[in-house]
Structure 1
Amino acid sequence: MGYNPPTNDPLEVLRRQQEAAARRSREALVAGGTQPFQSVRKLQAQIAELQAQAQELAEQAAAIEAVNDQQSAIITDLSAKQARIDALDLQVLRMAANHAAQSGITLGTSAASYAPLSFTVPAGFTSAIVTGHSAMAVGASTVNAAQMTTRIQGADGQFMNVYPDPNFANGATDFARTLTGLTGGGVVTVETRAYSQAGGVSAFITTTATVIFAKSV
């Protein structure tokens, strides 16, 4: 840097002041390095990173939405299938069950019907699977065996013996049939048949039955 002798020339003084200001600006830039430019680049990098994160989040949201749509479609399909199954069940099958009890019975030597049940055939149904259960208790004064069976629609199962006991005796039996050729409004009957070898036996009898009506589709 050269030496400038003192001067009173206004123009020279102004020139020297401008040179001094320019020199100070250059020195300030040199002392500060490239910090302003580094700050800009750092900000640009942060913006780019945020944009990348936003893009990734958008892609994840789209993937989640696709999964939700797929699950919704599966649920809709399953609901439709279940509705068809429910409708098919209503068309093809219908179940009924009932129970009857009869007390104060004195058994004779000929089989008779007790605790009867009846089921009306629904319209449009043509067949049925019928399961019957009979139970009997006989009094303590019984001195001879009693016999019992379940009758379904006029057909008897196997007769079972109920033998006397010092207190009381009881027994049970089951029978099942498949009925075809039924018509709506008809009746399916289930009852217990019982008798004693010598007659005069007091008894309590119950009949329980389940009927599954079916029709062709």
Structure 2
Amino acid sequence: MSAVAPIVSPIIKEKKLKINLKRIKSARTLEYLKKNALADISDLDKIVPLCYLEGIENDFLKHSKSYKLPYSVDDVWDAYINIPPAESWAGNRIGFSFSYNTDSKDFHYLHDQYHGLEVNQLIFIEIKLLFGLFKLAVTHHVNQISPEEKKIKLCYVEGGKSSGSQIITFKKISESESIVVHDTFYKSDSKFRDEKLYPFLHELIINQFHKNVRKYMDR
């Protein structure tokens, strides 16, 4: 009688999904990923948002800018949620690199079909200043999306130049007019940067972002 061979269960190693570096055009984003040792989803899942805590923290500086749009607040909200990042983060001052959702584990690269802004998305962009001579990689964490409050909250993340949040709220003026308020709460380790450089440069960047959304709606 021959011995029965034991059943050996195969050891299945979970393959970590890596960032597709070949689909990222921004040299600054690639440098940022390398510097912060971000190679796959397990690395991205460890990124820590450094949010401004509303009503609790008072040591952040504030920048505020409003944008009036000739559309209903519901239409404006829908546009900001669904505009592809390749269109919203585009132009001579900003560029979209890729995004990743820590909940769904989904990547989104340039030219991919877009399914809308989601909580816990990490959005990697490149900021271009001084006619493109100075470039900086920035990451936003989508911390909150509230259709009831008409509010989007983005946070900066650990490893960047600043901590804080960008809070975008949408308000009805009339049935055919709305106002978008973009409040930014920020701080870094440089008082000169925070007081002299950041407000001016940040406004240039968000102006282009909101201009892109208006262009998207006007089509």
TM-score category, normalised to shorter length: under 0.3
> Which one has a bigger Cα radius of gyration?
1
From the two aligned structures, give the one with the greater helix fraction: 1
Q: Which has the higher contact order (CA 8 A, sep 6+)?
A: 1
